[in-house]
Structure 1
Amino acid sequence: MILPVTLTIAAAAAVINLWLAFRIVPTRLKDKVLVGDNDDLRLRSRMRAHANFTEYAPFVLILMGLIELAGASPFWLWIAGIAFVLARVAHGLGMDRTTTNMLRGGGAVATWLILALLAGWAIAIAYRAGPVHMLGTIGVVPAARG
């Protein structure tokens, strides 16, 4: 089964992941930093923006895929997916600033809300469906008496 919403958002997430990774490279090359951050605040911030993205994206994409597979509304999945993409771009841009800012904070809060809503949606689907029945049956054979 093709999951068009999840596939599209996953492709967008891959592009964001590359963008966040490629923002790190010029500083590493310029300062010849192969490992770590060389105590460079900008490099550390960009590394954290990239790491933070990789910490959240898998959960969002897995939940979206399973929710879509369960037959949920594509409209609301599109809303959640687009909001996630925008939140992560905002967060990445906000991490370049040295002070607290709306891009970073808003991106983080939006990501948390989206993740929480998707988790709740998934739980609702799981328990609304009722108990899961096995496809086959298991026979019980009485023990032989002695």
Structure 2
Amino acid sequence: MTTSLYAAILVIILIVLSAKVIGARRSAGASLNDGNDDKLKRRIRAHGNFVEYTPIFLLTLLITELQGLEGVYLNLFGSLFVIGRTLHAYGIVESETKNKNFLYRQSGMFCTFFCLGSLALILLIQFLLSD
């Protein structure tokens, strides 16, 4: 199943984001909150945002796969989502702190919304065309 590949990749990204939060918590001495530390706040939000969007993406990708969406499209959406989530996390954690550049974050959200919106549309079409 194609979805399992993207689930594995996204879990690895989640582990990396989680490790970065843990490291920033240790540096800030904040085990339960953000310690009013900007670096930690950004890492928490990058992790949180990833966790907010990834499950629904994987669910919609899996459903479209089970309903017969061709592998080329599954790989297109899977790859684009991984790229988008990576760009978004990089934008929040690195790019914005250095030069107030929101391009990575905005590009990441565009990729995310494009994938989610496209998969939702495909699911609606599949439903409407089903017997």
1:87 aligns with 2:88: no
What is residue 114 of structure 2 aligned with on the other side? 113
Corresponding position of 1:8: 5
Match 1:38 to one of 31, 35, 40: 35
Structure 2 CA distance for aligned equivalents of residues 87 and 65 of structure 1: 18
Instruction: In structure 2, list runs of 5 or more residues that go unmatched.
Output: none
Q: Alignment identity in percent?
A: 28
Query: Which structure carries more helix by proportion?
Result: 2
Instruction: Show structure 1 runs of 4+ deviating over 2 A.
Output: none
Q: Check whether the contact 2:14–2:50 (CA below 8 A) recurs between aligned residues.
A: yes
Deviation at 1:31, TM superposition (A): 2.3
State the match for 1:103 in structure 2: 104
- Cα deviation, residue 32, structure 1: 1.6
Structure 1: distance between partners of 2:91 and 2:28 = 23
CA distance in 1, matches of 2:68, 2:24: 45
Tell me what 2:130 maps to. Answer: 129
Shifted more, 91-100 versus 60-69: the winner is 91-100
Q: How many residues align?
A: 127
State which structure, 1 or 2, has the greater radius of gyration over its C-alpha atoms: 1
TM-score by length of 1: 0.83
**C-alpha distance in structure 2 between counterparts of 1:46 and 1:21, whole Å:** 8
Q: Deviations over 1:88-139 (max 9, x none)?
A: 0111111122324211110011101111111001111111113xxxxxxxxx
**Matches of 2:66 and 2:60 in 1, distance apart?**
10
**What residue number does 2:14 align with?**
17
RMSD between aligned alpha carbons? 1.0
